[in-house]
Amino acid sequence: MKKSRRRTIKKHHGPKKHKKQTKRVKHFTAVKSVKVPWRPFEAKDLLSLKEVYAQDLSMVFKLAEKIKKNPQSFYGKLKGRSLALLFQKPSIRTRVSFQVGMAQLGGHSVYMDPQEEPLGERESIKDVARVLSRYCDAVVTRTYHHSDTTELAGYATIPVINGLSDLYHPCQTLADLFTIRERFGGLEKMNIAYIGDGNNVLNSLLFGASKVGANLAIATPRGYEPSEEIMRDIKLIAKESGSKITLSNNPFTAIKNAHAIYTDVWVSMGQEKQREQRVRDFQPFQVNGAIIGKAPKDSVIMHCLPAHRGEEVTDEVIEHPRSVIFDQVENRLHTQKALLVILLTRKKKK
């Protein structure tokens, strides 16, 4: 009986093929993921600060510091290189800082007037991207629609730098964070208060601050907050970096413990029809003597310019001894020079 039972059990075992399949499955699930090392500015372009790493930002700031201290040592760094400035919007700071910066690095820039070359009208965006890629080494855009910038970057084989779009203003944030770093000696745990519209400047500041570990307290009127989509992204980044991001409708709450108080215009280009409504909604959010009087005594005042004196900020605040507004202006030059050097001298992927 015992022998018969053992033979019966043996007959009902599954085929050997089944055992081999099981082993293969176990081997597959045991494979470990490989950690990819950081490479400076992995993306070809700078379209927003969403795509960059904290190490990228640190790299820009360290190089900008060297350039600012000793600009002569960088003369000729981009000799023979060309930069196209493709703008839909007029500009002072973006245009002049990039043109002067490129010249100081030994390169050349070509400004394309929006009247002469309206993006996507006389020629398709993808054709413009391909043409500029054959002539130039990089392109700076300044567009009404961020989708135009991303489309251009998608077809260009050279770096595309977002000089401003309706969604982001990354070059401004590079200068802003560099200014705070320069003033206070670092960025981690710095408290930035932003009072005003949830616009492109704030969107970029959110990504920049959260990636470097700075805290950002935002005060906007109801209905003018940053988008839920952006705030979801920021929440994940802040959790990893330790940055604290808060949102309120009270400017006096935002400035508590602030190292920097930042504001921007209430009515941006393209929003002129909303002017009356916006001025009414934002009036309680003006950065004035009352705000500065309640802020910490070592806090600095920031504005990306152009400023509408008497609206979002008073004349006395712009001219205040603690204003670093024109330091921000100057630092556009140094941080953008650093960015150009990094993007145009990095090793290409094999």
Q: Which residues does the annotation mark as catalytic? A: 142, 169, 172, 264, 304, 332
Report which secondary-structure segment, H or E, holds 108: strand 108-112
> Hey, how many other C-beta atoms are within 10 angstroms of the C-beta on 342?
17
Q: Which residue is associated with the tokens 């595309």?
A: 160
Q: How far is CA 98 from CA 82, 103, 139, 264, in A?
A: 11, 8, 11, 22
Q: Are 133 and 127 in contact (CB under 8 A)?
A: no
Q: Are 304 and 327 in contact (CB under 8 A)?
A: no
Distance linking the first and last C-alpha atoms of the chain: 71
- Half-sphere exposure of residue 56: CA atoms within 13 angstroms, side-chain side: 25
> Hey, how many other C-beta atoms are within 10 angstroms of the C-beta on 243?
22
**DSSP letter at 283?**
G
Between 228-241 and 200-212, two packed helices, what is the crossing angle to 10 degrees?
Answer: 20
Q: Are 240 and 211 in contact (CB under 8 A)?
A: no
**Neighbouring-strand partners of residue 112:** 86
Amino acid identity for residue 334 in this structure = H
- Do β-strands 300-303 and 215-219 pair in parallel, antiparallel, or remain unpaired? unpaired
Give CA–CA dist 278/297, Å, rounded.
30
Q: Are 222 and 249 in contact (CB under 8 A)?
A: yes
> Hey, how many other C-beta atoms are within 10 angstroms of the C-beta on 137?
20
